[in-house]
């Protein structure tokens, strides 16, 4: 049996390893347009590669996928994060789980993750075709004809696994080619949108405190259903970023927002404290330091640089003795802390981590990853209409679906 796996990213690597393990006699072709494997895996997690998550409860893991969680259930149960962790360790990549439950190689080097696959492939008969660009795929009776750029002869195979990824970070080779291949083979593609991106604000003051981070805040978007997320975030030169912002961007991936139709968000800097508790804290500070300037008193509640912004934005009497500040100004400050408003007018174009949307999940068997439309065709990874939050969930989905696809394509 001849099988072609198109795209040597996370899903393609795992599908290939799985195919080799399931059927060592299969003739396996791994086709990658780049001159090396796993380019995106290597740069993921800031080069450290957040391989998977330390969360072991599958229901909780599945809740981290705004799209595709139901579809992923079988794959996730058959190759859960704990098994992915063991798999990499078994293949010579010791992992560690951080306090925030993100799992990384102990070496903090994404190259080691790809290296594990390269070692497996080095001792197998897999044909790795690098710098090989697939331009079209056609069904040829029971088989598939794969057209390769600059090559006169097509590659004829019995099975195809499409793992060409989404269209985020196109410089890594994921340019969305696979969507056209899937359509050509009878599939439909759900609307596509960038996800896991930073927000750009109309307000310019975030630039003044760029880099200031918070361990926990609740960010809420003023759109239908008031989507919100609680987690770490930071101010940037152009707005806000960080895990909570990425997650919220994922929840509003299909919402339009720009200068004409901004996305109004609010940031609760004290999600674990009620207005009353915060008011009591401010009162205590004022009673303790009645003759301190108000800006210095509020600087003991929020960072000084942000306190300066609050004074400026709300026109507070920052220089006045705290005991002399009126109730109206105190309430304005407290309300601001519980809902710092920002007007989001854009996102980092091309900077998003994943593509939301993809091959319609109704057309793929979640148990085998085989097409329900074109037998012999399989999918795995970001090409599918599956995407998760940051935290190792996107790679985890690619490993899990890739393993199933590789197994069932060669059984």
The only residue of 16, 18, 163, 410 in contact with ligand FAD, by rule CB under 6 A: 163
Candidates 336, 352, 356; CA nearest to 278 is: 336
Q: Which is nearer to ligand FAD, 333 or 393 (CB)?
A: 393
Of the pair 191, 350, the CB lying nearest ligand FAD is at: 350
Taking CA atoms, 117 is separated from 20, 64, 361, in Å, by: 11, 27, 28
Q: Considering only residues 327-366, where is the footprint of ligand FAD by CB under 6 A?
A: 353-354
- Binding positions for ligand FAD, 48-87, rule CB under 6 A: 49-50
Task: Please state, in angstroms and rounded to a whole number, the distance separating the CA atoms of residues 112 and 277.
Answer: 48
160 touching ligand FAD, by CB under 6 A = no
Residue nearest to ligand FAD (CB): 9
Tell the smallest beta-carbon distance from residue 307 to ligand FAD (Å): 34
Distance in Å, CB of 390 to ligand FAD, minimum: 7
For ligand FAD, give the closer residue by CB, 144 or 393. Answer: 393
DSSP assignments along 374-395, one per residue? STTEEE-STTBS-B--SSSHHH
Q: Minimum Å distance from CB 228 to ligand FAD?
A: 22
Distance CA 75, CA 85 (A): 15
Asked if 249 interacts with ligand FAD (CB under 6 A), we say no
Closest CA to 335 of 275, 387, 392, 378: 275
> Is the four-CA dihedral 356, 361, 364, 368 of positive or negative sign?
positive
- Residue numbers 5-24 binding ligand FAD by CB under 6 A: 6-12
Cα(244)–Cα(355) distance, integer angstroms? 18
String marking each residue 88-127 x if it binds ligand FAD according to CB under 6 A: ----------------------------------------
Q: From the list 4, 116, 316, 395, which residue makes contact with ligand FAD (rule: CB under 6 A)? A: 395
Binding-site residue total for ligand FAD (CB under 6 A)? 41
Distance CA 320, CA 306 (A): 18
Alpha helices (H) along 200-302: 243-251, 275-288, 294-298
Q: How many CB atoms lie within 10 A of CB 7?
A: 29
* Cβ–Cβ under 8 Å, residues 378 and 402: no
Give the binding site for ligand FAD (CB under 6 A): 6-12, 31-34, 39-41, 43-45, 49-50, 133-134, 163-165, 168-169, 173-175, 177-178, 353-354, 381-383, 392-395, 398
């Amino acid at each position: 049996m001849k099988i072609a796996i198109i795209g040597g990213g996370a899903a393609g690597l795992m599908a290939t390893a799985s195919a080799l393990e399931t059927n060592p006699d299969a003739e396996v072709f791994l086709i990658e347009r780049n001159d090396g494997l796993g380019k995106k895996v290597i740069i993921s997690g800031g080069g450290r590669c957040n391989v998977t998550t330390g969360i072991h409860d599958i229901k909780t893991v599945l809740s981290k996928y705004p799209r595709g969680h139901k579809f992923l259930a079988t794959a996730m149960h058959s190759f859960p994060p704990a098994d992915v962790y063991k798999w990499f360790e078994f293949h010579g990549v010791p992992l560690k789980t951080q306090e925030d439950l993100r799992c990384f190689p102990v070496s903090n080097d994404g190259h080691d993750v790809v290296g594990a696959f390269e070692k497996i492939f080095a001792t197998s008969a897999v044909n790795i075709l690098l710098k090989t660009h697939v331009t079209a795929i056609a069904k040829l009776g029971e088989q598939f004809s794969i057209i390769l750029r600059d090559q006169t002869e097509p590659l004829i195979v019995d099975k195809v696994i499409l793992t060409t990824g989404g269209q985020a970070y196109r410089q890594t080779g994921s340019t969305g080619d696979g969507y056209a291949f899937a359509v050509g083979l009878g599939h439909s593609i759900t609307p596509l949108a960038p996800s896991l991106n930073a927000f750009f604000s109309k307000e310019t003051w975030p630039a003044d405190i760029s880099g200031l981070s918070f361990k926990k805040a609740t960010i809420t978007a003023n759109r239908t259903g008031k989507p919100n997320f609680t987690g770490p975030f930071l101010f940037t030169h152009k707005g806000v970023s960080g895990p909570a912002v990425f997650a919220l961007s994922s929840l509003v991936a299909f919402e339009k927002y720009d200068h004409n139709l901004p996305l109004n968000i609010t940031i609760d800097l004290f999600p674990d404290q009620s207005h009353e508790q915060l008011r009591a804290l401010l009162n205590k500070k004022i009673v303790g330091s009645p003759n301190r300037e108000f800006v210095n008193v509020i600087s003991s509640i929020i960072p000084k640089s942000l306190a300066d912004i609050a004074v400026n934005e709300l026109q507070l009497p920052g220089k006045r003795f705290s005991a002399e500040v009126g109730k109206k100004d105190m309430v304005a400050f407290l309300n601001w802390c519980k809902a710092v408003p920002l007007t989001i007018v854009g996102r980092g174009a091309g900077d998003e981590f994943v593509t939301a949307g993809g091959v319609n999940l109704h057309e793929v068997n979640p148990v085998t990853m085989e097409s329900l439309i074109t037998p012999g065709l399989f999918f795995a990874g970001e090409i599918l209409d599956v995407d998760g939050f940051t935290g190792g969930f996107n790679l985890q989905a690619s490993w899990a679906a890739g393993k199933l696809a590789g197994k069932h394509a060669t059984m």
